[in-house]
Structure 1
Amino acid sequence: MRLVVLCALLQVGVVYAQESDPFGVEAEVVSEAGALRVDFMLRVPDKHYLYAKELGVTFAGGNAELLSRPDPVPKMDPFLEEMVDVFGSDFRLSYRLSKPVPDGMSVAVAYMGCNAELCFMPQRRQFEIRTVGEGMWKIVPVSADVSAEPSVSADAKDGLFEGFVLDGRDSGYMSVDEFLAFVGRVESGTGLQRGRLELIVDEHGLWIGVLAILFLGMLLNFTPCVLPMIPVNLAIIGAGAQAGSRQRGFLLGAVYGLAIALVYGALGVAVVLTGAQFGALNASPWVNFAIGILFAGLALAMLGVFNLDFTRFQPQGIRAKSGHPFLTAALFGGVAALLAGACVAPVVISVLVLSTELYPSVGRAALLLPFVLGLGMALPWPFAGAGLAWLPKPGRWMEKVKLVFGVLILGAAVYYGYLGWTLLAPKSAVPEVDAESFWMTSPEAAVEAARRLDKPLFIDFWASWCKNCRAMDAKTLKDPAVREALGKYVRLKFQAEHLSDPETKKILD
């Protein structure tokens, strides 16, 4: 039997493991006349925030007066889609305790926070105020109300899920497109695999990942969409044999390559900071029709049906060799980056996805990854512009290359037109199903149904404190396409409110 796990509770590397708490609490006591002042310093990492509503401090066995607390700031919660009050940076809380203060007084600090991608479990930090001498006290951490939690084993051989094999797992918030892509990976047998770039970064660190992306960019120049066009592009920008000198050709090639890197870098910043989703664009029939029309026009021009001369829209000075050749090189480099074609698109999208995933944890450094890819693609161009001997010389063969590419691009135009038509065609109606009947809530009943019906079992772990879960319930899991994809599964929605609860452990073990 097959088992698929979705855990929107946490962003984890295993099926259901405790994510390390990125926040922190430190405490100190200061003796004052007739009272103790207790200060709590709460650490909030960059691009993280704590919910003001979830913050609380309790003193057992004593009366505490709040002396100071900074005002929270309003923020649009990406999970709840409403304005909430949060603390977005380190802050201090101060309380006054009237003496006498009993030795061993227990103090608890509770909080919950998120970043742009996920919300973390509610935390409860325990402290004790202890007497260390006449008129002297200290506050010490006792324990965090966090324990290592078990994870679903890959084979799930023991307990309730005996005989089931884990086919897929994922965690954190997923949009409709991301969820459907996850189900597709499960159906293709790759639901437990991660992207090569993600694995490289996880296993060897960010800098090794940067070098791998740089090398990938260099390899893109040897794809069928790019390599045959290198001499053509060099001739257009006046580099190579037409440069007049190796130094001039080197500089022209460098400007051309730098434009490629800048375009990919700008694309990465736009995608990461705006949260743009390529899947949503690809799912639009009108976007696919537009791409098909563009490709059809380019194909007909390459086949000689008509002459497509973009240079006539440029000022005379740019077209002239004695005018602005470096501006011409930069313009064509940028255009070449955008029209590189299907050969480079999968790699570019993979790097953009990786950059988006790393941005919440590594910050602005993740924005540079698409630029690094473009830089790798740009590296050979200065040397090509200098006229290295390994480059083929321009000749009649270029006309044949144009014809071949014209046919290929025409085929791509037909493909995108067909894809747009299929997306435009009315889909089969998906009956409306209420949440109560769509999901089962009893693990035992769901397992029995999966065995009896010989269907795979899909488990969605959730909790009332989980912002990711609430967002997915409100959007992703109500989408008709998602429900249609889940129709082939027995669906279990399991509330894992307290991870240390014996009933919860029984499901996770």
Structure 2
Amino acid sequence: MRLLCLSLLGLAALASQAAEDILKPEEAFRYELRAMPDAVEVRWRIAPGHYLYKQRMGYRSLSEGLVLGDAELPPGKPYEDEFFGHMEIYRGEVVARLPIVARADGLKTAELELRSQGCADIGLCYPPQKWTGTISFDQGGGALARLLGGAGRAAADEPLPPEQAFRPRARLLDPFRLAIDWEIEPGYYLYRDSLALRRITGPAETGRPKLPAGTPKQDEHFGETEVYYDAAHIEVPLSRATPAPGLLELELAWQGCKEDSICYPPQLTRLAVDLPPASAGDAPAAPISEQDRLSRLIVGGNLALVIATFTGLGLLLAFTPCVLPMVPILSGIIAGQGEDVTTGRAFALSLTYVLGMAVTYTLAGAAFAAAGGQLQAALQKPWIIITVAGLFVALAASMFGAFELQMPAAIQSRLSGLGDRQRSGTFIGTAILGALSALVVTTCVAPPLVASLTVIARAGDVLRGALSLFAMSLGMGIPLLVVGTSAGRLLPKAGPWMTKVKGAFGFLMLGLAIWMLERLLPAPLTLALYGALVFVAGVFLGAFNTLAANSPVAARLGKGFGLLAVLYGAVLLIGALGGARDPLQPLQFALRAGDGDQHELRFERIKTVADLDAVLLAASSAGRPVMLDFYADWCVSCKEMERYTFTDPGVQAALGDALLLQADVSANDAADQALLQRFGIFGPPTILFFDASGREREAYRVVGYMPADEFARHAGAALHGA
């Protein structure tokens, strides 16, 4: 009996508590009416744990002097209701806009009928509700006073309080997007550049607001700027830390003015939105990096499509600075044939060079990827670079006639029955040069290369990865076949012109040798070598030759171009003495005293995995995103990024307040390899982005060179997107 009494008392207590939790309809669903110049606004404030049905809402005017159009409502959240079936619901706050179709002159107030129905999450659904509200069209000298003028005009000329002149309202578009709608009184404007948003508390971080274009305005204080009149709609991506619901509190910074009157001081407004539960299906689709997309194609795509795709990608890579140096190498081989060169022989030599390059590139790439090594770094040892540069110098000397490259007599006698004499243009020597070019000259990292190596290293599919590498190598070789074959057709067959052509290719070979040594030598010394080479080439062209009155046109052109080359070479030498680094801007050092190198990005260097972890932890504590750039002195594309991309003002603006880190892996020592292996990177240039919590955004990795405009958009999305 005692147990029964206790049970009844417990049930009574629970019932009493439940009764206290159930709100009355007028408490659960509050509304506010507001007159606009062309519409009536109904703002619903829905208590937490409650929701309204969109399809159960209705509005009509009860006054003859006011005719309203159909209600304009934002999309609701889809909801499968037990009784009504498929519905849309609202939580938190929602605004219905009722367009004014007609309004009688002199109408100051009107009555509206509002219909609604909603439920509580505890399982209670309220019966349909009908509300009657009164709307005033003469709110403190507002819309009516501005329309009618007279006595109300003096009050309208007085500046409104900032919270009345500018009314921001936050609402959710979906669990991962927030909208801020601005209502701006006529005669007032809001500065676009003044808008900023930060999170105070809540389970989500805000991304970079998507601001619409404003109206251009020449401002007395800020100069050329953009402003918003009447209204503005801003979307903000949200990064959810948890799928659970919660209250997100925000602080909105803004500033505005009254036309031809006062400007308000910078304002701070607090906003709050209730975040609903989120699911993976609600989240926006994550981007896929180019290298990941290509990796998926290799693993799961049709093999013929894979080969065709990577052949095309190789063709595009053929025009990058990493592959172009092979053109003078192959052309020099063809020129070295002298009078024996024919179109057929030129094509055969070109094909031998391309196949030697493709086979070596494929085998070496597959072997290193399967072993987990970095092919690019392994082949950039100083002794390898110096050896190859020495080979180019030897080839140049041969072109200048210092000696003739040929194989030892014992080997020549054994191979004499197989073909021509073994000179610099023989097939064996051509294949060897193709292999060396593949290993040393074309070691630039690009998304197709990373995709192939990733499939070999991580998926273990050596066959498909190697086939894609071979197809890419053949694509890179297509322009070489065209150039080599045409060289055999266009080059002179004999005579003094052949000597001049071979001399020109000799200078190209010396240029390649300097280009190789550029990875090891200081930039000013490299610039001095280029200056000396160009100066001597000008002399070779006849800069200081004496011309007779009847000298042919070719001699005159040679002297003219020679003088230009001598002058440019002298400028390069002067620039090198001044510490210049760029052959295209050798005299930039003369301007440096005035403005410095303010256009260069300032990186913080890291060396080890421990260094990176410590910096990421500090950046996360400060709420700063991070960009990490993997760089090496021998990386051609890295220098392109430094020279053309990182100096762009748009790129620097996109990086904003991000912490910029750089890992110099030129030495390829144990610390460098550990840092590369931490992220599974095959070599520089590779750029990683981390959000404010220290997590890498892998889908936004950049591999290889990226132009400034594209990189600015990419970095902005990586650092400030959802």
After TM superposition, the score normalised by the length of structure 1 is: 0.40
Point out the structure with max Rg over C-alpha: 2
Q: Which has the higher contact order (CA 8 A, sep 6+)?
A: 1
